[in-house]
Copies of this chain bind each other. A is one copy, B any other.
Amino acid sequence: MDVKLKRPLNELDATEIVSKIAVGEVTCEAVVRDCIARIEAREGVVKAWVNFDQKRALDQARALDRAPARGPLHGVPIGLKDTIDTCDMPTEMGSPTYRGNRPRSDAACVALLRRAGALILGKTATCEFAGSAPPETTNPHNVAHTPGGSSSGSAAAVADHMVPAALGTQTGGSILRPSSFCAIFGYKPTYNTINTMGTWPAACSIDTIGWLARSIDDIEMLTAVLRMQAPQPPRPLSRVPRIGVWRTDLWNTAQPETKAAVEEAATKLGKAGATVRDIELPDAFTGLHIVARSTIGFYERAACMASAWDNQREMLSPQMRRYIENGHKISRDEYVAGLRRLDECRALLSGVFAKFDVLLAPCVPGEAPKGLDATGDPSMQAIWTALHTPTMTLPTHRGPNNLPVGIQLVAQRYDDDHLFACARWIWQKIGMPEMVGVRRSR
């Protein structure tokens, strides 16, 4: 067989792994071996994993190969952000305060993945407590640049073909930003529709679990399992999507590559037959990223971190201490006003989504910034996290340094399935499959 034609199994999508294992074309062990080989080759520079045990992974793979198919993800390796509890590996929250922490139970999402036959390959690096102090992880497209965060390791591992998909969490922009920076698909579900039991709370009223993966099909299949649903074949749209382009009040902060990504996507989608219209949202939406990040984010962070602040302050990063100090300065009245304002905006979105299937919006200010000391600006993602809407980023563009820049799609709350269908239509019209993840280097 021509070696060049044989794709390493670590490059398969989760849906492909499922099909190939089902017909006996590959084994789970073979897939895991190729993932391990990729990790061995690249982890020294990418630094995506904080807990990865080859032997445990291979033992589990062999056990799955021996067993009858357990569920719809039988044999699929998954990475888990290290803020998600696992009973068989440490869960360290990216913080020395949780070093060696062994949760009593798997998080709900982990238990549901295992029930479906998935294999937990390991824990991926996270910013401290899903905040902003970064791990050592690099951007696999250019290791001098941040991969984004706080789901840094999940994004880098998936982009670098170490694992087909990984779970992350988003409170500001911790799934979509690293996905956009690393050229993969990122999905943040409607708030409170994927169970968060056993995941670290950064800000309870907005925390959401979601997926980082290399295909929309994968995200849809994996999400079904977390919903306790049987995965369904993708449903096509019954008509072309109506797309509202909202540039947001952050447009002036966007770099040329982000502006180009949104404008080009809008133009191409219009040419492809979609109804594309520019929209402006009411004044209540102005400055919403500040409500999301500061008023809600800092205030709730200060509460979540109360024990660490009082007992282990010296073990917290300067970034985290600043967050908490900021939280202490927010009055209860400001906080409640922020919650009310978000409610008001959610109500206003009903009118918007009566006219549009999805909104197209900027996802990140631009390419991943150079340096590993910070993970980039979450403002453009944080608006939607706080509004509880489902969002996705698609890896559609590149910037001046040939680093990825994704676009962001937003749907109405609970319309996650419709978001998938629209995203698939849009990807078919403007996506370039060779853009996804790092250039394949064999």
Contacts and interface: CB of A to CB of B under 8 A. Distances in A.
Interface in A33-69: none
A198 B305 CA distance: 11
A306 B101 contact: no
Contact of A227 (B108, B198, B332, B340): B332
A40 to B, nearest CB: 31
A290 interface: no
A110 B303 CA distance: 10
A197 B414 contact: no
Contacts of A311: 111
A205 B192 contact: yes
A307 B414 contact: no
A107 B201 CA distance: 11
B229 A414 contact: no
Contacts of A414: 336, 339-340
Nearest to A350: B347
Given A228-B328, A414-B336, A306 B196 contact: no
Interface in A295-325: 299-300, 302-311
Q: Which of A306, A343, A414 has the most CB of B within 10 A?
A: A306
Q: How would you classify the secondary structure of chain A's contact residues: helix, strand, loop or mixed?
A: helix
Nearest to A203: B195
Nearest to A346: B343
Contacts of A343: 413
Interface residues of A, number: 48
Interface string A169-212: 00000000000000000000000110111100100110000000
A97 B306 CA distance: 27
Given A105-B307, A106-B307, A196 B192 contact: no
A332 B416 CA distance: 12
A112 interface: yes
A197 B106 contact: no
Interface string A87-103: 10000000001100100
Interface in A347-368: 347
A195 B112 CA distance: 26
Given A101-B104, A193-B336, A195-B300, A87 B204 contact: no
A97 B111 CA distance: 15
A44 to B, nearest CB: 31
B306 A111 contact: yes
A310 B227 contact: no
Contacts of A328: 228
A193 B138 CA distance: 37
A410 B305 CA distance: 31
Contacts of A198: 307
